[in-house]
């Protein structure tokens, strides 16, 4: 069978490449090795937050909001428009909030400053002792990460007759010839396509291991927790806090960022890349995270499969400083992994003019993949 495009990897990055190619009417095959994706794309918060990004990633995120909104009108992807709120806990964080707001105002990206009183009216479980001021982005979305990608696949399978989705199919070969690429699976199946885009996330061994070994990619391990269901808890939307203001890209571009110092009690959290985010799921449970540990492609195993109790404790202590409900009433904990590049905001590597590796989007995939993939498809297919 011959396709215009074969996409390897059914996480959010691969799926949106397949989506945009299918929208153009191309004949597309998406191959995913697992029965369902179960890596970074399902292990995250589901926060769709262009406000955390700058430059082209802000533009991709903003475009993503539009497309997500359009699809959600046709098919329930599990998206809710409850906005995002960044809570400043001290004067430095307040300064960054004001500066980021000025930048977003200039780009006509709506936001609203909230006094501590207004914040507590909307989110009465935030502690008065923590909150100084906040910035709210009403247009931003949250997804249910354990449902979103499966529903998107369901939607695409019904919407595009020119798209085939095939699961339980690990690709182990992409062999280019003059006219096409032959793609091989572990089961010995083969397909031909004019182009192949490889979006394998953190899988570096099955395809092009030598390319990945020298790619400069590093893998990040993140620890996450989920409370028991708290259905009446008034904490809707994406809740981001002081350490996030000190970490996210949009704030690092602010004029005052260079002079901001980390308060001593937060030093250990910063060393572990900890910032505290909350995202209430539809069942009322609250996802709390996260921490960041890093290893190179060759040493991914050194990150381990366990969750480190000390890191969870650091996060829970800081989370409890922010909110009044019992953050220790946990139902589960897990770790998630994503690749990112040391020097580039995404890893793009072409093999000839028909095989295109697009991975290592880092911690912005739920927000940025949709807009980014649209541009990649436009560039590759004209």
Q: Which residues bind ligand FAD (CB under 6 A)?
A: 8-14, 31-34, 37, 39-41, 43-47, 170-171, 199-203, 206-207, 222, 224, 289-290, 336, 338, 359, 361, 363-367
Residue 7's DSSP bridge partners are 30, 197
Please name the residue ranges forming H helices in the chain.
12-23, 40-43, 55-74, 91-106, 116-122, 145-159, 209-213, 242-245, 249-252, 267-271, 309-322, 365-381
- Phi and psi for 117 in degrees, rounded to 5? -65, -50
Give me the least distance between CB of 129 and ligand FAD, in Å please. Answer: 26
Asked whether 339 and 219 are in contact (CB, 8 A), the reply is yes
Cα-based angle 113, 115, 117 (whole degrees, multiple of 5): 140
Residue nearer to ligand FAD on the CB measure, 180 or 221? 221
95 or 354: CB nearest ligand FAD = 354
Q: H or E stretch including 222?
A: strand 217-227
47 versus 312: smaller Cβ distance to ligand FAD: 47
Minimum CB separation from ligand FAD for residue 373, in Å? Answer: 10
Q: Which residue has the tokens 């996210």?
A: 248
- Count other C-beta atoms under 10 Å from residue 125's C-beta: 16
Whether 292 and 227 have beta carbons less than 8 Å apart is answered as: no
Q: Provide the sign of the torsion angle of the four alpha carbons 193, 202, 65, 252, taken in this order.
A: negative
Give the shortest CB-263-to-ligand FAD separation in angstroms.
Answer: 25
Q: Which of 20, 52, 283 is nearest to 147 (CA)?
A: 283
Residue 12 or 239: which CB sits closer to ligand FAD? 12
Q: Shortest gap between Cβ of 132 and ligand FAD (angstroms)? A: 24
Q: Between 14 and 242, whose beta carbon lies closer to ligand FAD?
A: 14
Say if strands 355-359 and 190-198 run parallel, antiparallel, or are unpaired.
parallel
* Distances, alpha carbon 181 to alpha carbons 167, 193, 350, in Å: 20, 5, 13
Give 37 or 94: the residue with its C-beta nearer to ligand FAD.
Answer: 37
Q: Which CB sits closer to ligand FAD, 45 or 160? A: 45
**Cβ pair 60, 368 in contact under 8 A:** yes
Comparing CB distances to ligand FAD, the nearer of 6 and 95 is: 6
Residue placing its CB nearer to ligand FAD in the complex, 156 or 222: 222
Tell the smallest beta-carbon distance from residue 199 to ligand FAD (Å). Answer: 5
Half-sphere exposure of 313 (CA within 13 A, CB side): 4
Ramachandran angles phi, psi of 357, nearest 5°: -90, 125
CB of 16 to ligand FAD, least distance (A): 9
Instruction: Give least dist CB 34 to ligand FAD, A.
Output: 5
**Least distance (Å) between residue 82 CB and ligand FAD:** 14
Residue closer to ligand FAD, measured from CB, 11 or 83: 11
- State the minimum distance, in angstroms, from the CB of residue 13 to ligand FAD: 3
Query: In the Cβ-directed half-sphere of 355, how many Cα atoms lie within 13 Å?
Result: 18
Torsion angle defined by CA atoms of residues 358, 287, 32 and 73, in that order, rounded to the nearest 10 degrees: -90
């Amino acid at each position: 069978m011959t396709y215009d495009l074969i996409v390897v990897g059914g996480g959010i990055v691969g799926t949106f490449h397949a989506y945009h190619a299918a929208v153009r009417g191309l004949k597309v095959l998406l191959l995913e090795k697992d029965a369902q994706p179960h890596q970074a794309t399902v292990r995250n918060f589901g926060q769709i937050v262009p406000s955390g990004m700058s430059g082209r990633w802000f533009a991709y995120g903003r475009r993503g909001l539009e497309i997500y909104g359009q699809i959600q009108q046709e098919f329930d992807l599990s998206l809710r428009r409850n906005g995002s709120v960044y809570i400043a806990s001290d004067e430095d964080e307040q300064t960054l909030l004001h500066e980021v707001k000025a930048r977003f105002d200039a780009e006509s990206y709506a936001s609203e400053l909230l006094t501590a009183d207004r914040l507590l009216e909307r989110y009465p479980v935030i502690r008065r002792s923590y909150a100084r001021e906040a910035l709210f982005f009403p247009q931003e979305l949250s997804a249910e990460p354990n449902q979103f990608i499966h529903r998107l696949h369901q939607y695409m399978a019904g919407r595009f007759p020119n798209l085939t989705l095939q699961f339980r199919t690990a690709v182990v070969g992409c062999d280019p010839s003059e006219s096409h690429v032959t793609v091989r699976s572990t089961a010995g199946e083969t397909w031909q396509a004019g182009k192949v885009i490889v979006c394998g996330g953190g899988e570096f061994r099955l395809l092009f291991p030598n390319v990945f070994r020298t790619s400069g990619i590093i893998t990040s391990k993140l620890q996450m927790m989920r409370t028991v269901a708290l259905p009446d808890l008034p904490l809707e939307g994406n809740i981001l806090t002081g350490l996030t203001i000190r970490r996210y890209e949009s704030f690092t571009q602010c004029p005052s960022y260079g002079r901001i110092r980390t308060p001593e009690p937060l030093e250990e959290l910063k060393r572990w890349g900890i910032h505290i985010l909350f995202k209430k799921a539809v069942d009322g449970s609250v996802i709390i995270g996260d921490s960041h540990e890093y290893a190179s492609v060759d040493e991914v195993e050194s990150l381990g499969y366990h969750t480190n109790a000390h890191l969870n404790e650091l996060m829970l202590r800081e989370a409890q400083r922010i909110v009044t409900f019992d953050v220790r009433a946990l139902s589960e904990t897990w770790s998630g992994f994503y690749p990112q590049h040391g020097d580039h905001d995404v890893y793009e590597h072409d093999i000839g003019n028909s095989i295109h590796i697009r991975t290592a989007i880092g911690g912005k995939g739920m927000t940025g993949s949709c807009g980014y993939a649209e541009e990649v498809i436009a560039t590759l297919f004209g």
